[in-house]
Each structure stands twice: as structure tokens, then as C-alpha cells.
Amino acid sequence: MTDQLRIALAQLNPKVGDLPGNLALARRALADAQAAKADILMLSELFLTGYFPDDLLFKSQFVADAMETARSLIADTAGTDVVLILPTIWQDKGNLYNAVLVGENGAIIATRYKRELPNTDVFYEKRYFAAGPLPQPVDIKGVPVGIPICEDIWHRPVCEHLAMRGAEIMLCPNGSPYWTDKQHVRKDLVRARVGEDDVPLIYLNQVGGQDELVFDGASFAMEPGGKLVVQGKSFETDFIVSDWSRGENGWTCTNGRVEDLTSVEEAPWRAAVLGLRDYVQKNGFRDVVLGLSGGIDSAVVAAMAVDAFGPEKVHCIMLPYRYTSEDSLRDAKDCATRLGVRYDVVAIGDPVDAALRELQPIFGNRPLDTAEENIQSRMRGTILMAVSNKLGSMLLTTGNKSEMGVGYATIYGDMNGGYNPLKDMFKMEVYALADWRNKHLPGDCLGPSGEVIPQSIIDKAPSAELRPDQTDQDSLPPYPVLDDILRSIVEDEMSLGEVVARGHDPALVKRIERLLNIAEYKRRQSAPGPKLTPRAFGLGRKYPITNGYKDFTVG
């Protein structure tokens, strides 16, 4: 039995389904652990398959390939002093498990299965996995180690059982996605477990974007008494090595690196940039294109894209019509210049007017309305998709959560695109992030420092510019009011009566709820974007398109 342990955490960015690529990442981590003379190397939850593989788990060949890949990696521990904690899928007696394999000297010395399977808006593990029994500690170099898997620590019995069976230290692999304040929620959770069980817990999380989820890393370790002794980087890969010593009062960390966590103001920007970067690159695109209107949303998306890829891989296009103001033309060019991106102007006047002429026999003498306005938006979407097809760039779309909430977006027009970094941000959050980015440049971002979003864009009234002198507030309440109503209904699931009690006009609240409900079909056809809150449209809030429910708490 040893009284000293050096533990390495590989906070890496796997790709779902990429068994060879994830195996290569793991092998590099194993080599790094050997070089660091680590006793233990832990990888994050379901590392070899990526988290979460969804219905790939119903594909028997994928399961077989994943298990063979795991055996291959375990074999690599032969001739090393490193014990590998490898989270992966594992099939046993006809059941599939979310598992951990413990490998030493080329052999599997233990298997442990996740007991508490999440069944939430994000993960439906009960659809795929059998629940494991209450786990026993694993003997690693003579030390009884508990290995609860992610959700297992959110429920007291698993860690309590491990501690009662003699576990002296807990090593917990996770696939925990980011949302607002999640890093602090995890800390509070682990502090509770450590206090109850009186043993330290080391928490490893993966990092990177996977479809609409963003994993923020931020791995850490905590000793009894709630003392934070290790803190990894946020939103970046990291290789974290810490030294542990057993004394009279159990295991304590004698050498651990503690990084600063990202602030609550910075985290949404970092999450959006990381989600965008990984979505584009993991899907095989090299660069992006977007329409730059001179408004706040497209300016923020352009800045995020430059931070994700660098200015040379971002292409911005202004698509003016007769209602486009001189201010918008000036602001769009100014923004593109500050960001250093390619900037083109493609006027849509001739194709829009031609479409209107050809439609006149069908439209007849009916008064002008949104049908004519939306032709402008759809022409822009068509042109941007043409550029995307011709140049091979992914088209980014730029609608925020406030607009998507009430359907203030044109389906097959400005909603065109492969990814939307603002999908889960309310309008006022977009303004706040623009102001934040003008004052800060995160270390992993590739854009310029300084005021990259012109103040004139932040200051002017938002407008779709689809008719003369149009502003968003012609048809919507002021965004602070709209955001509060939507946040109350969407994030907090308040009744209409409760929303009115916050000081809002009853007729307005009923109107916003109606717009929210009838726009569900649009949201179902919208581009994916990073989930930044617990109640993101689609991945966090699933409502039927055909919905006859009426809230009668307001007359």
C-alpha cells in the first residue's frame, strides 16, 4: 500500500463516434502521464465513444468496435506504471452499460457501471443503458478508490456506499455540459459529497462542443472542509497533474494547480465561441460566411466567428435593398474593417423587384404586408446559401432567443444557416456581450482586441429594415420588457397571472404567449446553436407544435 499518489486528469475534447481519433487522444494522454510519472490517469465520461453517442448505441457494430478500441487502449498500459481509468461503453450479459474500465499492466483489473442514469432534457441514458449495482471501491496500488460516474455524485447513496465500503478517495469522470452558473453548481454539489463522506473528490470534466452542447472542462478537486485544491482551465483542454499524500486524517493534496474560473460575464462568450468552433471544424468546414447587416446580432456573430477561426476564415456580406439605411451600410463596413474580415456587398434590389413583378398576377391588388417584406429576407438567405455552396463555407445565422421566441424571424430567409451562436441568448444579453467583448479579449480567442463592435451599432434602435423607417419596437415591446416576459414564461415556467404580477400589461403578456406558441414550428426548423441555459429551445424546452392548451390565469 502506498501513501503517495500522483494523479493525472486528461481534460480533452473528444468527438462523438470518432473511435480512432479519440483513441489517438487517449494514447497521447497516456504518454503524457508516463512522462509525468503519474500513478493514475483518468479520462472523462464515455471518452472513447464521445459523450453522448445517442442512437449510435443501438448499432451493434459500433458497440463491438468501441469495446475492441477499449481493449486496445488497455493493452497500451503494459510496461507502464500508470493505472488507467477508462470510461467507455461496455456490454455484459446482454446489457449495455455506461462503464469505467480500470487497466493496469495491459489487463482490465476492474469494471464499474454507472448506477444513476440521467433522464432529462439533455440526456436519456435510460433509453440505452442498464443501471449498474451500487459499486465497490477499486484497489489501485493498494489504495481503495471510489469511482462514481457523473450523475452518481448527484445522488447521495452511491458516494455514501463507496465511503462506507472503505473508499479513501473518489475519482469522478464526467460529461457535464455548461449552462449559466453550472461551474458553481458543481462546486456546491461536490462540497456536499465531500462533507458527507469525509474523503476528497477529484472531478474530471470533458471540454468542447458537441452539436448543441458545450462542455466547459473546469475540472477540480476538493478536500474535506470544502477546500479547493485543484482547478483546471475553463473552455480549454488541459492536462492536470496533482500529488496526494495519506496522513492521519486521510488523503490531502500536496501539489495542485489552481486556475481562475471564467467570470459569469465571460463564460457565455467563451461557450458560444467554443461551440461554434467545434461545430464547424468537427463537421469538416474550414471557414464561415454570414450576412452583416449593420445590426447588433450579426456584428456579435461576426466577432464570435473571428474569435473562433481568425479573420482570414470569416466572410461577411452586406445585402442592401432600398430600405437599407446609410447608417447600416457605414456600420457594417466599419465592423468588418475592425474585425479584419473579407467584406463584400451584394445588392438584392434587382432580384427582389423581379420577384415582385413576377408575383404581381398572383398577389393582385392586395395591400403590401409581410409577404413582400419577407421576399427581401428570403432573397438574402438564397444568396448567402449560394455563396456557402460555391465556396464551401458554413453559413451562420444570427437570430437571438428573443426573436426566435416570438417568431420575429423569416423562415427560409434570415433563419437560413448551419449554426446559430446566439440561439440561446436573449436580446439584452447580446447587447451586454457586445459591450463585454469590446473591453476584453479571452486568451484562446483569435480576434483583435479593442472595440471590435462599433458603438454606433450598440446604440442604435434595432431594425429589420424591411420597410421605411422600421424599428423592432413597431411590432414588439421594448426588449427589456420582452425579455423579462419570455424569461418568465420560458425559463421559469410561470403562469400568465404570475407574469402579470411582475408588473406587465395583461394584454401584452397574452399576446407574447400566443406568439411564443405559434412560432414553435419555426423553431423546430431552426439551425442548432449552443445550449447556454437550462431551458434552451428544443434541447431544454420541448413543446408540441400543435398545442391547444390555454392558460386562464389571465382573463
Catalytic-labelled residue, pool 45, 125, 223, 513: 45
Q: Is 291 assigned a ligand-binding role in the annotation?
A: yes
How many other CB atoms sit within 10 Å of the CB of residue 368?
10
Degrees to nearest 5, angle at CA 181 with 176 and 187: 65
Beta bridge partners of 231: 220, 258
Q: How many CB atoms lie within 10 A of CB 80?
A: 18
Q: What is the largest CA-CA distance in the chain?
A: 90
Query: Residue 489, annotated ligand binder?
Result: no
Query: 114 catalytic, yes or no?
Result: yes
Q: Which residues contact 505 (CB under 8 A, 6 or more apart)?
A: none
Q: Which amino acid belongs to residue 90?
A: W
252 annotated binding-site participant: no
Distances 72 to 41, 56, 381, 474, 501 between C-alpha atoms, Å: 16, 21, 48, 63, 61
Residue 522 marked in a binding site: yes
Residues 434, 227: Cα–Cα separation, whole Å? 35
Told to judge if 227 belongs to the known catalytic residues of this protein, a careful annotator would answer no
> Which residue is catalytic, options 15, 104, 125, 150?
150
Active site (annotated) includes residue 45: yes
Question: Does 292 appear as a known binding residue?
Answer: yes
> Does residue 233 have a known ligand-binding role?
no
Is 182 annotated as belonging to a binding site? yes
What are the cell numbers at 134? Answer: 451500487
Ligand-binding site membership of 146 (annotated): no
Determine the residue type at 130.
A
With beta carbons less than 8 A apart as the criterion, state whether 273 and 308 touch.
Answer: yes
195 is in an annotated binding site: no
- 283 annotated to bind ligand: no
State yes or no: 298 annotated in a binding site: yes
H-helix or E-strand containing 479? helix 479-486
Q: C-alpha cell of 428? A: 439584452
Picking from 169, 164, 260, 276, the residue whose alpha carbon sits closest to that of residue 218 is 260
Query: Per the residue annotation, which of 114, 233, 423, 427 is the catalytic one?
Result: 114
In angstroms, the first-to-last Cα distance of the chain is 72
* C-beta separation of 462 from 434 below 8 A: no
Is 550 a known ligand-binding residue?
A: no
CA–CA separation, 446 vs 310, rounded Å? 5
Cα dihedral 150, 151, 154, 160 sign: negative
Helices 296-309, 326-339: axis angle to 10 degrees equals: 10
Cell numbers found for residue 209: 462542443
The secondary structure of residue 337, as a DSSP letter, is: H
Say which residues have a Cβ less than 8 Å from residue 293's Cβ, sequence separation at least 6. 318, 319, 328, 332, 465
Asked whether residue 486 is marked as a ligand-binding residue, the answer is no
Residues annotated in the binding site for deamido-NAD(+), as ranges?
A: 374, 403, 522
Residues annotated in the binding site for L-glutamine, as ranges?
A: 176, 182
Active site residues: 45, 114, 150
Residues annotated in the binding site, as ranges?
A: 176, 182, 291-298, 374, 398, 403, 522
